[in-house]
Amino acid sequence: MSATASSATSALTTRGFLLDMDGTLVNSDASVERNWRVWAIEHGLDPEEVLKVAHGRQAHATMALLLPDRPMELNHADNRVMLANETADTEGVVPIPGARDFLTALATLPHALVTSADAALTDSRMAAAGLAVPKIRVTAERVTTSKPDPEGFLLGAAELGLAPENCVVLEDSEAGIAAGRAAGMRVVGVGPRAAALSPDAHVADLTRLRVEALPTGEILLHVGAHD
């Protein structure tokens, strides 16, 4: 996979895409923050500090990071409650600008969704945002280890029939970007959280991306300049 650049745009050459959901295709921050604030207060933690690490991981992994001495069975129990609450809480869940058009452009190209949400939460948020769920998806139930572990991205690449180095990851969070890198993939960061994490390229939203299928079977991802 190669990259070319000009003063305004760059282009990544790839054969497939692995897409995160929250913060990348769907803006679910309002729901995430509401539910994590409740959990933080219940456990005597500063909600603002909790929110700094809550994005990108499965909830039980975030809980283990915040409360390292807590038994994991309690984290998994809280994780189930969190998933149910977030699945029901779709107020303010909207698409990231450009998400619908970008998914439409990928319709005939190799791509998969790789998310820390479970299947029910994925369906709920994608529906609330008015987005179609990709046919190939790796949700929380299908992995044994949460991001920043690369397991989910490696599974997504395998299901596309692609080598990791032939995939580009779209991600917004520190955990997700770390997972993509650990998988040996290039990462395009999306949105404000990703800006400070030194992804291979960064865009404010998905309106800044364009795909071009090549006769070779490769795909050019044109990455527009960002603010």
| Closest among 80, 96, 109, 84 to 190, alpha carbons compared | 96
Segment (H or E) for 19: strand 16-19
Tokens describing residue 102:
């970008």
Is residue 125 a contact partner of residue 28, using CB atoms and an 8 Å limit?
Answer: yes
Place of tokens 């572990």: 149
Please tell me the distance from the alpha carbon of residue 108 to that of residue 126, in angstroms, as a whole number.
19
Is residue 172 a contact partner of residue 158, using CB atoms and an 8 Å limit?
Answer: no
> How far does Cα 78 stand from its chain's mean position?
22
Please tell me the distance from the alpha carbon of residue 90 to that of residue 164, in angstroms, as a whole number.
33
Q: Which amino acid is at 73?
A: E
Residues forming the active site: 20, 22
